């Protein structure tokens, strides 16, 4: 029943993140896209921090252990009402302009609308196309997205593998494998520490340091690799919590960087498709990676850490070689048809 409920959310609830990403992308400029998307991503981290702390208070004595699920359903209804009443109309922030049709508006006229500029934030007219033409289908092999999707898959699998085996690692390092119920507290503490570090990255470091997508993804992987090293050698709760927090801090930088990079690589008209692809990549990392990581960890612990480290290094290599520099990705080039400014202007 748990698997069926989770699949129900996976089939329908997973439509929300792409819609949110496309909605935010249509209302933000390229320069602030990373910060805006990191704020959206941090909501998941905030829930990870608050959820374990609030869950015991949601258990009602006259309902029992299933009472939190009724609470979740009530939350969903409240969110639905709030979205319907408070969310502004789905109108993008960039202006829609059209060309005047040639007189006498006969069959030979060419009514056209102007679509958004791929660079996004200029008020100059972009290339026009016929009114009935739809944005072309965005494919996984699109060269603009190929590198971003590659590093998203690699880094996502590294994160999923570490998260999947972290609970078993804590039980073993703390000598609690025979009494797993005693490990609930330490495991919850470490996971909340990691979630707090993720929020620090997305609410603090990215906005303060003004990191671009490429820089956020690369520095995030460097920090995650350092945290993985600490976890691999840690033997007590304090050391393991610090290592997992450092790794989570890195993943908190990496995720918004990868998401914003994929968003900035395509035009505004393709934001919905890009968001859907990104959501699919994020979900793909959690299909088999956690189970494989636990199986390998139970047989060869050092091999599991080696695979995760190799994935992180591969992510760094793809980001370094395959993605555009932030100055090129975020920067806005004036249209060629605009005359250069005069010295007196």
Give the long-range contacts of residues 23-27, CB within 8 A, separation 24 or more.
23/90, 25/263, 25/268, 25/271, 25/275, 26/90, 26/92, 26/93, 26/94, 26/268, 26/271, 27/92, 27/93
Indicate if the pLDDT at residue 14 is higher than 90. Answer: no
E strands, the chain, in order? 112-114, 128-130
- The DSSP secondary-structure symbol of 94 reads S
Query: Region 293-317: what's the mean pLDDT?
Result: 95
pLDDT at residue 95, as a whole number = 43
φ/ψ of 320, rounded to 5, equals: -70, -40
Confidence category of residue 57, pLDDT binned at 50, 70, 90: confident
Query: Region 219-224: what's the mean pLDDT?
Result: 94
Q: Which residue has the tokens 């890009």?
A: 274
pLDDT digits (tens, 9 = 90+) for 115-173: 344 444 443 333 333 434 456 777 777 778 888 888 899 999 999 999 999 989 999 99
Indicate if the pLDDT at residue 51 is higher than 90. Answer: no
For 159, 184, 213, 303, 322, the CA distances from 311, given in Å and listed in that order, are 9, 29, 19, 12, 16
Q: What is the reported pTM?
A: 0.67
pLDDT at residue 240, as a whole number = 95
Higher-scoring residue by pLDDT: 245, 331: 245
pLDDT at residue 78, as a whole number = 94
CA distance 63 to 56: 13
Higher-scoring residue by pLDDT: 317, 12: 317
Confidence category of residue 174, pLDDT binned at 50, 70, 90: very high
Q: Report the percent of the chain where pLDDT is more than 90.
A: 26
pLDDT at residue 105, as a whole number = 32
């Amino acid at each position: 029943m748990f698997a069926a409920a989770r699949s129900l959310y996976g089939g329908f609830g997973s439509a929300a993140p792409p819609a949110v990403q496309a909605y935010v992308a249509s209302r933000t400029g390229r320069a602030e896209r990373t910060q805006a998307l990191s704020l959206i991503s941090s909501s998941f981290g905030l829930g990870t921090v608050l959820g374990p702390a609030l869950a015991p208070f949601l258990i009602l004595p006259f309902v029992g252990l299933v009472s939190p699920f009724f609470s979740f359903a009530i939350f969903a209804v409240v969110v639905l009402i709030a979205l319907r009443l408070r969310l502004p109309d789905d109108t993008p922030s960039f202006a829609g302009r059209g060309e005047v049709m040639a007189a006498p508006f006969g069959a030979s006229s060419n009514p056209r609308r102007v679509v958004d500029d791929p660079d996004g934030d200029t008020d100059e007219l972009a290339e026009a196309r016929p009114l009935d033409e739809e944005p072309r289908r965005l494919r996984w092999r699109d060269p603009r997205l190929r590198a971003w999707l590659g590093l998203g898959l690699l880094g996502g699998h590294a994160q999923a593998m570490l998260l999947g085996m972290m609970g078993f690692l804590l039980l073993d390092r703390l000598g609690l494998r025979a009494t797993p119920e005693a490990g609930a507290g330490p495991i919850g503490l470490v996971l909340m520490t990691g979630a707090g570090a993720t929020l620090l990255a997305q609410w603090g470091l990215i906005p303060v340091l003004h990191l671009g997508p490429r820089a956020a993804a690369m520095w995030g992987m460097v920090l995650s690799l350092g945290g993985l090293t600490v976890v691999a050698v840690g033997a007590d709760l304090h050391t393991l919590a610090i290592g997992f927090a450092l790794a989570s801090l890195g993943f908190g930088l990496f995720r918004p960087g990868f998401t914003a990079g994929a968003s900035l690589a395509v035009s505004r008209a393709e934001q919905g498709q890009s968001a859907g692809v990104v959501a699919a990549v994020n979900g793909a990392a959690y299909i088999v990676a956690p189970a494989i990581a636990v199986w390998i960890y139970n047989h060869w612990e050092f091999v599991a850490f080696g695979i995760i480290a190799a994935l992180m290094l591969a992510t760094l290599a793809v980001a370094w070689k395959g993605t555009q520099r932030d100055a090129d990705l975020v920067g806005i080039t004036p249209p060629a048809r605009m005359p250069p400014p005069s010295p007196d202007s």
